[in-house]
Amino acid sequence: MTNVKHLTVLGTGVLGSQIAFQSAYHGKTVTAYDINDDILVKAKERAAELAKTYLAEIPGATQESVDAALGRLSFTSDLAVAAGEADLVIEAVPEVAKIKEDTFARLNDVAPSATIFATNSSTLLPSQIAPSSGREDRFLAMHFANRVWQFNTCEIMGTPNTSKETFDTAVQTATEIGMVPIPMHKEKAGYLLNSILVPWLAAAAELAAGDYADPQAVDQVWKIATGSPLGPFQIYDIIGLNTPYNIMMSGDADQQKLGAWLKENYIDKGRLGQSSGHGFYDYTS
């Protein structure tokens, strides 16, 4: 058992709300922080929705267990209150370096000196943000995936300055909140999963965009020949096509061509993936 009893999450958007609820569900006392009280109203609604989702989707979840999680979760727009008793702060604010750096600098002024800071950034390396934290030995990345209760990996990536004790505490805490910790030896943009996933998805798009085969045929050969339950285009539909599109458009000319193909043939036609009812596949029936 770690001595992380009180966990604070900064940002109550898609990922922050999930990390907060997941931690509370697994017994931590959690404070969720966001920039103003109007956003906190939405944050409370998100928490109530998550309680319903856990009840419906987590084996063994009961009304009592989700109510208890809600009871362990509090909300504030006062950073000093949010940080005051935190053993671990997980940051899930927008993916903008300046916002993250400002947030950690302000946090460092109000958090106890022993508190560990973690970023959930998907694309920024922790060493880029660490100097703003004022505590580089107690700073690292804990990277969760959307739908944390289902896709429950937590990639843990330190910087050369992260202490072993901090790293080990993060690994252990991830386990305590129902995640599977995935420890990394050193920093890498994209962590482990996206280092595999992004080129794999691009390779599949190249085949369909180059008209070598239909997306369904690409999925079929992948699934049958490797025994994987899902093919790349099914994964596109789960992620939603906008995120891969944005990644492609920030790549080289070949990647941008793939992005243009995705946009013209799917995104512009409202085929954004499962969430819109249509993507490479139809989900309405």
Which chain residues interact with ligand NAD by CB under 6 A? 10-16, 34-35, 39, 92-95, 99, 103, 120-122, 144-146
Q: How far is the CB of 73 from ligand NAD (least distance, A)?
A: 15
Cα(166)–Cα(172) distance, rounded to whole angstroms? 10
What residue is closest to ligand NAD based on CB?
Answer: 13
Cβ proximity to ligand NAD, 78 vs 95, nearer residue: 95
- Measured at the alpha carbon of residue 109, what is the angle toward residues 73 and 189, in degrees to the nearest 5? 75
Residue 201 in contact with residue 244, Cβ under 8 Å? yes
Question: Which three-class secondary structure state does DSSP give residue 258?
Answer: helix
- In whole angstroms, what is the distance from residue 135 CA to residue 116 CA? 8
Shortest Å, Cβ 210 to ligand NAD: 29
Query: Cβ closer to ligand NAD: 80 or 224?
Result: 80
Q: Which is nearer to ligand NAD, 70 or 145 (CB)?
A: 145
Query: What is the C-alpha separation between 270 and 263, in angstroms, rounded?
Result: 9
- Identify which of residues 193 and 217 has a Cβ nearer to ligand NAD in the complex: 193
CA atoms within 13 A on the CB side of 187: 19
Q: Pick the closer one to ligand NAD by CB: 39 or 213.
A: 39
Measured CA to CA, the distance from residue 10 to residue 133 in angstroms comes to: 14
Report how far residue 188's alpha carbon sits from residue 14's, in angstroms, rounded to the nearest whole number.
Answer: 24
Residue 187 or 206: the one with the smaller Cβ distance to ligand NAD is 187
212: left (phi > 0), else alpha (psi -120 to 50), else beta? alpha
DSSP 89-152: EEE---S-HHHHHHHHHHHHHHS-TT-EEEE--SSS-HHHHHHHHT-GGGEEEEEE-SSTTTS-
CB of 119 to ligand NAD, least distance (A): 7
Closer of 10 and 177 to ligand NAD (Cβ) = 10
Residue 109 CB, shortest distance to ligand NAD, in Å, is 14
* Cβ at position 24, least distance to ligand NAD in Å: 17
| Interacting residues of 247 by C-beta distance below 8 A, sequence separation 6+ | 198, 255
Q: How far is the CB of 220 from ligand NAD (least distance, A)?
A: 27
Q: Taking the complex as a whole, how short is the minimal distance between the CB of residue 86 and ligand NAD, in angstroms? A: 14
